[in-house]
Structure 1
């Protein structure tokens, strides 16, 4: 057995006594204590007056909490604590105590109402020489685990508990902190305080923890058993009876008054005769139930409230003034002339039909007839805002129903009343919200509809959008026919391919194309810049953006068909200016040049595709269309020694792969006329690649650029870098028409390509282009692939071995 460390002589000191009721303090604990009794108040005052002891006192528990503190009623062992904070409230004090060490009272004295104690610190037994006791370490681990289990049973987060116990490394401190927060009797806590051996303290605390965990588990079992016996039904009835009693005390309406109120609202709603019969029957059922506490009565009340809130006869009067409508459309939108003309034609037809009606029935039929409009185009081109302008021009209410990602038929038709939490679909919910029978309802992002095992929402829309059927639309929740024939439905979509055929057949398409740079500039100047100045807390005179700066934003910081990214870029400039103005650095921000834009926004993260700077063999410029608008792409082809394989890379879809194989077959079949040496077709691999390899690509319109790139690579003749092309090809070399001409041409125009090759049958599509774009570009219309090759390829090969090949025939070409 090792020798104990020598002890120092304990220091005696006389301290005021703070008697504690129903609690025991431990060293290392900092806690607030409320002081209200006279003797404890005097003890605190004595400690605060003391100078030598630095506001210390002896905190010790009372044996009997009900008695007044006396020298006989105090335990002998307590803690020396320092007062760190004092706060008065009413007739008492709240003090913060920091407990420093255990101490024992040699004797207590009382004078002038203050109990004092002569104390000495209790020094723990010294550790034996050598390593830390393995028993103590094992006990400390067990105490930590049991403390976490007990705290979790009491509802504390496990992660917080583990962090708390893991941060305490000393076994003595571990016992002090856990025992202080554990719900023990005062005598049990005092016994832990008086025990000097760490092993014994840990062992006792472990026993307490096991016992309390068992008690908590038993309480949980008892509570679960009682809840099961009570039953959910009885509990709900009990709570509803309480609610009923509270409502009665507050003087609120009872069940009969609720039914009467619903009956009055339904009478005012003016339901059709067929629906009124069903509603009266359900209202009678509610009255016979006598009380509203049952779930069925609550469900029926909710259904009747929905029926009463729907606009069965409420409508807004149409006032179709075509001149006013033109003014509204021009004020709220720049460009889109074709769209505005089609909208005005649509409004004119409705006006003539209504004017020719002689009675209300004919007027209603005139309003219900007419196409459902589909606004089809890239994001940010004004589809939803044009629909809102139509509502403004007609004087109607406006409802927007977002269908993006909807995968449940109940989103359109609602849930059946028998389901818990059933609600009507989005169509009737929007009608109730605006309180009008004839609003303009925008079905936004109709091409983003999904389908799942809950049903197909696109199929549910067939009845909604069919003028021959929607006068009797039945929502599953409502269960009554509701007339939607007076609603003006406008649908928006980005892509035609995402709309099912039967649904698309019920709509008339109005195409929204991308804006030109001039149109973007005007939109930014007229609408976007003033709106961002206002939204960022600036006044009109505090931010000035010049035309060159706007053009820099359009060309270098955005690449889109619409103007959403442009508005975000303008907003970023406005925020930069707002910050400098708010910090009084400047009074007014003037962004006058592209350099100013770059200084504020940094380098552009947009890297738009640009035309090639020089002619090269095996590279052709194609055009493509995406939901974000049109752009150009470079098709690359190369020939290398091999086994005659044809390699296709660049995430190409099946249609583009087929176009590549057709182009290669045409080149091999007409090698002589295309100037391709015979030996280039034998023992060589051909590799076709479209850059941006991580982006999937597909479609037939890349046939012409693929064929030109292949012929250029095989013949060695360079392709003109100033020409972009599009068109589908056949094995016979015919060039077939394609779609999206306007968007593709605008994309090529933005990329700086001056000449465009299009299929001959697409010549009529040039009418859709703005006049300034048509004047700035040169168009070539081809019917055969040979014409495109003659326009695109230079006359002489770039490689000497091809030019000097004796077997290479003289090329021919048929130009338009």
Structure 2
């Protein structure tokens, strides 16, 4: 295939970028294309039956496909074959034809350049032939000290008379840097190319000679080290025969001393197991694999802090003080924690043994960032006990908890025993983080191991597979955390007592930021209190418009971001001694606001209702929409609804039909579509026919987010009743509650989070089930109750009276 078979040059042809190497003419190379620009360029060349130029990227621009990031020279050639690979890449077989240079960019998509062939200038053939002999000599020398040139390539260089072809062959074989390769590639003067190549070959020869010398020295050194090793091994055997090798005996004696010092604190079966393994170790050959495994076992088990207990006695006042010091609000959780430890203190004061009657395991449940783990930290600080955190998220191997049997390679104790070793005490506070995210697969069920660990009746004899003896966990205080308690298996659920750590209100977030987050972050960033101040309106705006969460984790990040920018401003301007953040300059510290919940517009509309939802990250306001279309009375549901919400919608549709049939929901005659014949004949249509003559479409935005739960019933009834009766729904009213077929409003969960969400959305009225009103209203923050009217409803008729206008 010749260049002349294609159009004349200069020409506009597609450009393919190559990250790794320079290609040269007459090379047939496979290219693997994994980015869109290169693939588009190859496709363009194949479709137009044109050539393509392959240009390497400049150093430091790997992966970039812009014109400026490429060398302006490359190889013009043709694509012989193109194959799409299963992993999304495209493989093309490229044949180079000539060196070429890009003169200017023509387009970006795909990348096309105006390209011309690089001419070759040869002046004095006798002189070039003489230089060529020098090049061949250098190549022969380099092949003697390296493995760059195979015999067939050397023969080609010796026999070929195409000067530029010889240069390209040598350059493609020798490992030149991109910049060196480019200078040789772009040069038009053949004599100059040869002379530059000789310089590079001389450097490469010297470098390879040095490498060969170093390799020789290293080989000699290794031989010497091996010789010393064998001599030392022989010396050891001689010393052993003479009875003078005491190092191993000293090691075994050290293990025996450790074991005897712990004997009084260990259980009988633990002492027996460790003694047995120590005796086996003393009889083993030191170089056997079993000896190494047994020594590792002894190292682990003799680090377990048998009998080491924190002697600090329980003081309920200190626990309460520490919780109040570290956490604002959270009154119910703190009260329950204090009660839990009050029982323990009373048992301790009266000398009642509590190893098997320590009570339920506490589990803090709630959205991320509300302070579940930090509550456990406060408990550990108050009790003066070490804290061990075991992250259970994604844990799927039961051996991670129970330990691996010693027959397996790389066996080690389970996380519980490792936690005791790290804590150096047998009564630490162990936090089992994200217990709701433990998964089950073919390697066992970790939740089954957790049943034994968390059961006060069983954990005094917890057996780790690695240690192979019982360990007493009855003195350990276990505290679990979870985001969604519904995902915890029922048997494990029964072992725990759940303390709900709910969402914070905006006012609570303000107090937490003022008392804890801002002082802590200023200290972390090396700022004094006087150097960075934030006004009360600015802090409230930061909470309101720049964070989206139930807890305060993102709020802490925002405060940290503000502190970083303040530190930078102070370093750049040495005269600046104080930075004040106000509502006016808040956007200088943060890129954009994140509106958590859409505000109500107060304008009543038909077919849109505000429902309240609980999520794992707090409450939310869901707008449920509905439209009607002339049809036969069917209903379509969209919005990624789960089975429970779909059932709620069907029940709601039946309830509305009943209300229409019993005349409790008035339907105007204007709302009923009639056929031309019915109109012409003067037939009067019963208002109850309305739901038979429309198809309904109920949608819950946004459609990509899965939604489910038993609390959308009354909202579904309201939106269907509104669209069929053409009555408007008050936009400043939100609601939550399930509905029965008889029209009773049933109680729901997650009321606190839902009401906080309604408060953030500026709702003036919220409808909740009467049972929730009587039972749960005292758990709602006072500022939420003061900001809006909360009404308890028993029947769906009461709901429609409140929302339809």
Task: With the length of structure 1 as denominator, give the TM-score of the two structures.
Answer: 0.69
Equivalent residues in 2 for 1:767-806 (5 A)?
767-794=778-805
Equivalence for 1:97? none
By how many angstroms is 1:626 displaced? 1.0
CA contact (8 A) 1:379 1:628 kept: yes
By how many angstroms is 1:179 displaced? 3.9
Counterparts of 2:170 and 2:739 in 1: how far apart (Å)?
81
Counterparts of 1:184 and 1:772 in 2: how far apart (Å)?
81
Distance 1:566 1:252, change over 3 A: farther
Distance 1:134 1:516, change over 3 A: farther
Distance 1:182 1:596, change over 3 A: closer
By how many angstroms is 1:775 displaced? 2.9
Equivalent residues in 2 for 1:314-463 (5 A)?
314-357=308-351, 362-363=352-353, 365=355, 369-463=358-452
By how many angstroms is 1:666 displaced? 2.0
Equivalence for 1:584? 573
Superposition RMSD in Å: 3.4
Which string of whole-angstrom CA distances, capped at 9 and with x for unpartnered residues, describes residues 496-530 of structure 1?
A: 12211111110011111111111111111110000
* Superposition misfits of 4+ residues, deviation over 4 angstroms: 133-147, 160-167, 181-186, 237-245
1:746 aligns with 2:739: no
CA contact (8 A) 1:549 1:591 kept: no
Candidates 557, 573, 583, aligned match of 1:568: 557
By how many angstroms is 1:489 displaced? 0.2
Distance 1:184 1:611, change over 3 A: closer
Counterparts of 2:703 and 2:245 in 1: how far apart (Å)?
69
CA contact (8 A) 1:662 1:731 kept: yes
Distance 1:506 1:776, change over 3 A: same
Equivalence for 1:48? none
Which string of whole-angstrom CA distances, capped at 9 and with x for unpartnered residues, describes residues 598-632 of structure 1?
A: 23224313342222431101010010111111121
Equivalent residues in 2 for 1:441-520 (5 A)?
441-520=430-509
Distance 1:183 1:587, change over 3 A: closer
By how many angstroms is 1:262 displaced? 1.2
Candidates 110, 119, 124, aligned match of 2:128: 124
CA contact (8 A) 1:317 1:395 kept: no
Counterparts of 1:584 and 1:623 in 2: how far apart (Å)?
49
Distance 1:389 1:142, change over 3 A: same
Equivalence for 1:62? none
CA contact (8 A) 1:609 1:631 kept: no
By how many angstroms is 1:290 displaced? 5.0
Candidates 172, 176, 179, aligned match of 2:194: 172
Equivalence for 1:544? 533
Which string of whole-angstrom CA distances, capped at 9 and with x for unpartnered residues, describes residues 62-82 of structure 1?
A: xxxxxxxxxxxxxxxxxxxxx
By how many angstroms is 1:174 displaced? 8.1
Equivalence for 2:142? none
Whose radius of gyration is greater, 1 or 2? Answer: 1
Which string of whole-angstrom CA distances, capped at 9 and with x for unpartnered residues, describes residues 625-655 of structure 1?
A: 1111112111111112245442222222222
By how many angstroms is 1:441 displaced? 0.5
Secondary structure at the residue paired with 2:702?
coil
By how many angstroms is 1:264 displaced? 1.1
1:639 aligns with 2:598: no
Equivalence for 2:134? none
Counterparts of 1:437 and 1:239 in 2: how far apart (Å)?
47
Equivalence for 1:267? 260
Task: With the length of structure 2 as denominator, give the TM-score of the two structures.
Answer: 0.70
Distance 1:515 1:173, change over 3 A: farther
Gaps of 5+ in 2: 1-124, 132-159, 188-192, 668-686
Counterparts of 1:707 and 1:177 in 2: how far apart (Å)?
87
Distance 1:274 1:179, change over 3 A: same
Secondary structure at the residue paired with 1:756?
strand
674-683 vs 624-633, which moves further: 674-683
Counterparts of 2:179 and 2:399 in 1: how far apart (Å)?
48
Equivalence for 2:589? 600
CA contact (8 A) 2:651 2:740 kept: yes
Equivalence for 1:299? 293
Equivalence for 1:675? 666
Counterparts of 2:475 and 2:167 in 1: how far apart (Å)?
78
Counterparts of 1:409 and 1:590 in 2: how far apart (Å)?
53
